[in-house]
Amino acid sequence: MNVDQELVARLGIRLPIVQAPMAGVSTPQLAAAVSNAGGLGSIGIGAVSADQGRQQIEVTRALTDRPFNVNVFCHAPAQRDPEREAAWLEHLVPLFAEADAEPPAALSEIYTSFLEDEDVFDMLLEQRPPVVSFHFGLPSPERVQALGQAGIYTMATATHLYEADLIEKAGIDAIVAQGIEAGGHRGIFDPDANDEGLATSVLVRMLVKRARRPVIAAGGIMDGQGIRSVLDLGASAAQLGTAFIMCPESSANEHYRQNLKSTRAATTRLTRVLSGRPARGLVNRLVRYGEAAGSPEPPAYPVAYDAAKQLAAAAAKLGNTEFAAQWAGQGAPLARARPAAELVETLALELVGN
């Protein structure tokens, strides 16, 4: 079993375990519990303002004196297409009717990319979290350099060799190798490019042989045996997301948790319907409807997400949760409902074969 002591020491963690950021599900309480237990906890601030991100960092710091990771989204700003957006809203009219609601007159770009968000960048330099990670792409070289000069360790997601090459050239410290099994959004830089869909094991082996940066494996890893397997493949650490959703410290609602405990957890799908970008989650009514033959293409990310969130919110008022995004990886049936610290302890014991 390969444990990269240099990476563990640099990150200031005891175990080669990273809790995935999971914007919208991760919380300061979850991140702090994982960090206190010896792993690297994470919070995702890609969907919130600079002030909200600052608050999350401050709450996390109040709960732990250990290192933690702050994740931001580096997607290209949406290419707005009024005709495409109108066609999508028209397509969703029957679903809004089921929710006893009218579809919105127009959609919004609900998340500002870190590529354009000066406030979040300035806030990170002010707060100086121990680790900052990037998803969907990379910030400018100037921002990477500034974060590094502030003493911040940086990581970025790659789904393919060419993305890993760009990460290394940008001077980022570590590569998160996200396999096709992973839940949530694919970190692919260009969602319209060909996606080879590499499995975690294949991607890790490719990157370990080629990259000069530490590789953190992500995708389908749910237990200590899975962590050990990716370490044996040459990864320096493992990142787990779906494994932590049922922890009481996550913000997942009861319906989400019950679905992960049910047979529905065995069926996940990579789809653009919910957000406009490929993302893996439990199959719900909106996914089936939006992927049916003859359906128009959803708008660009995150514009499509605005429609999905408004539909889900309207339906929830009637007690209908069948339109909500519930991200999960292919390993979802292996998820365990236990406190985060206890889960990390269990992972550590499984990792060494106990």
Q: What is the mean pLDDT of residues 136-147?
A: 97
Per-residue pLDDT at 71: 98
Residue 35, burial from CB neighbour count under 10 angstroms (0-12, 13-18, 19+): buried
Find the angle CA(312)-CA(315)-CA(317) to the nearest 5 degrees.
115
Q: What is the mean pLDDT of residues 74-87?
A: 96
pLDDT at 3 over 80: no
Q: 3-class DSSP state for residue 66?
A: coil
Which whole number is the average pLDDT over 83-104? 97
Task: Give the model's pLDDT for residue 2.
Answer: 59
pTM: 0.96
Residue range 168-175: average pLDDT? 97
Longest dimension (CA), the chain: 58
User: pLDDT exceeding 90 applies to what percent of the chain?
Assistant: 97
Task: Count other C-beta atoms under 10 Å from residue 187's C-beta.
Answer: 26
Helix (H, G, I), strand (E, B) or coil at 237: strand
Mean pLDDT (the chain, rounded): 96
Give the C-alpha separation, 281 to 310, whole Å: 18
Angstrom distance (rounded) from CA 207 to CA 259: 34
Neighbouring-strand partners of residue 135: 73
pLDDT tens digits, 244-267: 999 999 999 999 999 999 999 999
d(CA 228, CA 115): 35
pLDDT higher than 80, residue 322: yes
Task: Compute the CA torsion angle 229, 130, 22, 203 (nearest 10 deg).
Answer: -40
Percent of the chain with pLDDT over 70: 99
H or E element, residue 154: strand 153-158
Question: How far from 269 is each of 192, 213, 227, 310, 345, CA to CA, in Å?
Answer: 18, 31, 23, 21, 30
State the CB neighbour count (10 A cutoff) for residue 49.
14
Average confidence (pLDDT) over 141-164 = 98
* Average pLDDT score over residue span 29-56: 98
pLDDT tens digit string along 274-305?
999 999 999 999 999 999 999 999 999 999 99
Is the model's pLDDT at 340 over the cut of 80?
Answer: yes
Tell me the three state secondary structure of residue 59.
Answer: helix
> Tokens 């409807």 belong to which residue?
289
**Chain segment 188-222, per-residue pLDDT in tens:** 999 999 999 999 999 999 999 999 999 999 999 99
pLDDT of residue 353: 87
Residue 1 has pLDDT above 70, yes or no: no
Question: ∠173-177-181 over CA atoms, to 5°?
Answer: 155
What SS3 class is residue 122?
A: helix
Rounded Cα–Cα distance for residues 154 and 13 (Å): 15
DSSP string, 183-235: SEE---S-TTS------HHHHHHHHHHH-SS-EEEESS--SHHHHHHHHHTT-
Q: What is the pLDDT of residue 354?
A: 72
Per-residue confidence (pLDDT) for residue 6, from 0 to 100: 85
Q: How far is CA 221 from CA 69, 74, 238, 337, in A?
A: 19, 24, 8, 16
Residue 42 is which amino acid? S
Report cis status (omega within 30 of 0) of the bond before 191.
Answer: no
pLDDT at position 209: 96
